[in-house]
Amino acid sequence: MSTLKIGLIGVGRMGRMYGQYLARRAQGAALVAVADQKAELAKSFAAEFEIPRWHSNYQDLLNDGGIDAVLVVTSTSTHKQVVMDAARSGKAIFCEKPIALTLEDGREMIASTEAAGVFFQMAFQRRFDVGYVAAKQKLEAGAIGEPVMFTSISRDPYPPPLEFCDPKVSGGLIADMGVHDFDVARMYMGEIRRVHAIGGVLAYPEMKSVGDIDNAIVDLVFQSGAMGVVQLSRNAAFGYDIRGEIWGTKGSIQIGYYRQTPIVTLTPEGVTHDAVPYFMERFENAYLAQIRNFVEHLQKDLPPSITGADAMAALRITLAANLSLREHRPVEVEASEAGRHRA
Amino acid sequence: MSTLKIGLIGVGRMGRMYGQYLARRAQGAALVAVADQKAELAKSFAAEFEIPRWHSNYQDLLNDGGIDAVLVVTSTSTHKQVVMDAARSGKAIFCEKPIALTLEDGREMIASTEAAGVFFQMAFQRRFDVGYVAAKQKLEAGAIGEPVMFTSISRDPYPPPLEFCDPKVSGGLIADMGVHDFDVARMYMGEIRRVHAIGGVLAYPEMKSVGDIDNAIVDLVFQSGAMGVVQLSRNAAFGYDIRGEIWGTKGSIQIGYYRQTPIVTLTPEGVTHDAVPYFMERFENAYLAQIRNFVEHLQKDLPPSITGADAMAALRITLAANLSLREHRPVEVEASEAGRHRA
Amino acid sequence: MSTLKIGLIGVGRMGRMYGQYLARRAQGAALVAVADQKAELAKSFAAEFEIPRWHSNYQDLLNDGGIDAVLVVTSTSTHKQVVMDAARSGKAIFCEKPIALTLEDGREMIASTEAAGVFFQMAFQRRFDVGYVAAKQKLEAGAIGEPVMFTSISRDPYPPPLEFCDPKVSGGLIADMGVHDFDVARMYMGEIRRVHAIGGVLAYPEMKSVGDIDNAIVDLVFQSGAMGVVQLSRNAAFGYDIRGEIWGTKGSIQIGYYRQTPIVTLTPEGVTHDAVPYFMERFENAYLAQIRNFVEHLQKDLPPSITGADAMAALRITLAANLSLREHRPVEVEASEAGRHRA
Amino acid sequence: MSTLKIGLIGVGRMGRMYGQYLARRAQGAALVAVADQKAELAKSFAAEFEIPRWHSNYQDLLNDGGIDAVLVVTSTSTHKQVVMDAARSGKAIFCEKPIALTLEDGREMIASTEAAGVFFQMAFQRRFDVGYVAAKQKLEAGAIGEPVMFTSISRDPYPPPLEFCDPKVSGGLIADMGVHDFDVARMYMGEIRRVHAIGGVLAYPEMKSVGDIDNAIVDLVFQSGAMGVVQLSRNAAFGYDIRGEIWGTKGSIQIGYYRQTPIVTLTPEGVTHDAVPYFMERFENAYLAQIRNFVEHLQKDLPPSITGADAMAALRITLAANLSLREHRPVEVEASEAGRHRA
The string over B140-158, giving b where at least 16 C-beta atoms fall within 10 Å of a residue's C-beta and e elsewhere, is eeebbbebbbbbbbbbbbe
- For chain D, list the contacting chains (3+ Cβ pairs, <8 Å): A, B, C
pLDDT band at C4 (very low <50, low <70, confident <90, very high): very high
> What number of other Cβ atoms are within 10 A of residue D64's Cβ?
18
Touching check for C158 and chain A: CB below 8 Å? no
C48 → chain B, closest CA residue: B27
Cα(D199)–Cα(D218) distance, rounded to whole angstroms?
A: 8
Nearest CA-CA partner of C227 in D333, D214, D178, D204: D214
pLDDT band at C342 (very low <50, low <70, confident <90, very high): very low
Mean pLDDT across the stretch A84-97? 98
Non-local (6+) Cβ contacts of A287 within 8 A are A17, A18, A21, A125, A128, A280
Q: Do B227 and A217 touch (CB under 8 A)?
A: yes
pLDDT of residue A336: 67
Mean pLDDT across the stretch C167-187? 95
Touching check for D263 and chain B: CB below 8 Å? no
Cβ–Cβ < 8 Å for D35, D56: yes
pLDDT of residue C334: 83
Torsion sign over Cα C222, C227, C233, C239: negative
Can you tell me the ipTM of this complex? 0.94
- For chain A, list the contacting chains (3+ Cβ pairs, <8 Å): B, C, D
Tell me the shortest Cα–Cα distance from B133 to chain C, in angstroms. 9
D335 has pLDDT over 80: no
pLDDT of residue B339: 45
Q: How much of chain B, in percent, has pLDDT values that exceed 90?
A: 90
- Domain range summary for chain A, segments of one domain joined by +: 4-122, 127-282+312-342
Touching check for D235 and chain C: CB below 8 Å? yes
3-state DSSP helix/strand/coil percent for chain C, to nearest 5? 45, 25, 35
Chain A, chain C: beta-carbon pairs less than 8 Å apart: 48
From the list A27, A251, A259, the residue facing D24 with the nearest CB is A27
pLDDT of residue B337: 55
pLDDT band at D241 (very low <50, low <70, confident <90, very high): very high
Q: Which CATH superfamily is domain C4-122 in?
A: NAD(P)-binding Rossmann-like Domain (3.40.50.720)
From the list A27, A253, A259, the residue facing D263 with the nearest CB is A253
C269 → chain A, closest CA residue: A238
Instruction: Tell how strand C270-273 and strand C263-267 pair up.
Output: antiparallel
Mean pLDDT across the stretch C161-185? 94
> What's the whole-number average pLDDT of chain A?
95
Q: Give A228's contacts in chain B (Cβ within 8 Å).
A: 217
Touching check for D267 and chain A: CB below 8 Å? yes
Mean pLDDT across the stretch B232-242? 97
From the list A129, A253, A267, the residue facing D143 with the nearest CB is A267
User: In whole angstroms, how far apart are CA A140 and each of A133, C316, D277?
Assistant: 11, 57, 23
Secondary structure of B7-75 in HEC code, one letter for each residue: EEECCCHHHHHHHHHHHHCCCCEEEEEEECCCHHHHHHHHHHCCCCEEECCHHHHHCCCCCCEEEECCC
Q: Give B275's contacts in chain D (Cβ within 8 Å).
A: 266, 270-271
Q: Give A235's contacts in chain B (Cβ within 8 Å).
A: 148, 247-249
pLDDT of residue B342: 40
pLDDT band at D25 (very low <50, low <70, confident <90, very high): confident
Q: How much of chain D, in percent, has pLDDT values that exceed 90?
A: 90
- Higher-confidence position of D24 and C289: C289
pLDDT of residue C2: 79
Mean pLDDT across the stretch D240-255? 98
Q: Give D328's contacts in chain C (Cβ within 8 Å).
A: 330
pLDDT band at A61 (very low <50, low <70, confident <90, very high): very high
> What number of other Cβ atoms are within 10 A of residue A318's Cβ?
27
Domains D4-122 and D127-282+312-342 share a fold: no
Question: Where does chain A show beta strands of DSSP type E?
Answer: 4-9, 29-35, 53-55, 69-72, 92-95, 120-122, 147-155, 192-200, 215-222, 227-233, 241-248, 252-255, 263-267, 270-273, 331-332
Q: Do A252 and B229 touch (CB under 8 A)?
A: no
Segment holding D331, helix H or strand E: strand D331-332
pLDDT band at B322 (very low <50, low <70, confident <90, very high): very high
Touching check for D24 and chain A: CB below 8 Å? yes
Cβ–Cβ < 8 Å for D318, D175: yes
Q: Do D274 and B272 touch (CB under 8 A)?
A: no
Non-local (6+) Cβ contacts of A327 within 8 A are none
- For chain B, list the contacting chains (3+ Cβ pairs, <8 Å): A, C, D
From the list C146, C231, C236, the residue facing D151 with the nearest CB is C231
D104 has pLDDT over 90: yes
Cα(A128)–Cα(A183) distance, rounded to whole angstroms?
A: 12
pLDDT digits (tens, 9 = 90+) for D132-173: 999 999 999 999 999 999 999 999 999 999 988 899 888 999
From the list A267, A269, A275, the residue facing C271 with the nearest CB is A275
pLDDT of residue A2: 78
Q: What are phi and psi of D133, to 5 degrees?
A: -70, -45
A1 has pLDDT over 90: no
B341 has pLDDT over 90: no
pLDDT band at B335 (very low <50, low <70, confident <90, very high): confident
Q: Would you call the peptide bond into B159 cis, given omega within 30 degrees of 0 as the criterion?
A: no
pLDDT of residue B170: 86
> What's the whole-number average pLDDT of chain C?
95
Q: Do C250 and B256 touch (CB under 8 A)?
A: no
D287 has pLDDT over 90: yes
Tell me the shortest Cα–Cα distance from D135 to chain A, in angstroms. 7
pLDDT digits (tens, 9 = 90+) for C81-103: 999 999 999 999 999 999 999 99
Maximum distance among all Cα pairs of chain D, rounded to whole angstroms: 66
Can you name the residues that pair with B229 across neighbouring β-strands?
B151, B219
pLDDT digits (tens, 9 = 90+) for B139-154: 999 999 999 999 999 9
B144 → chain A, closest CA residue: A237
Q: Which of D242, D257, D271 to mutate to test the interface with B (most CBs of B within 10 A)?
A: D271
From the list B196, B250, B328, the residue facing A237 with the nearest CB is B250
Touching check for B178 and chain D: CB below 8 Å? no
Cα(D338)–Cα(D343) distance, rounded to whole angstroms?
A: 9
> What's the whole-number average pLDDT of chain D?
95
D338 has pLDDT over 70: no
Cα(D214)–Cα(D178) distance, rounded to whole angstroms?
A: 12
What is chain C's length? 343
pLDDT of residue B26: 76
pLDDT of residue A334: 83
B284 has pLDDT over 60: yes
pLDDT band at C343 (very low <50, low <70, confident <90, very high): very low
pLDDT band at A341 (very low <50, low <70, confident <90, very high): very low
Tell me the shortest Cα–Cα distance from D246 to chain B, in angstroms. 22
Q: Give A254's contacts in chain D (Cβ within 8 Å).
A: 263-264, 266
Q: Which CATH superfamily is domain D127-282+312-342 in?
A: Dihydrodipicolinate Reductase; domain 2 (3.30.360.10)
Q: Do A238 and C272 touch (CB under 8 A)?
A: no
Chain A, chain B: beta-carbon pairs less than 8 Å apart: 112
Q: Which of A261-275, B20-34, C206-220, D278-292 has the lowest mean pLDDT?
A: B20-34
A21 → chain D, closest CA residue: D25
From the list C236, C268, C273, the residue facing A238 with the nearest CB is C268
Can you name the residues that pair with A7 across neighbouring β-strands?
A33, A70
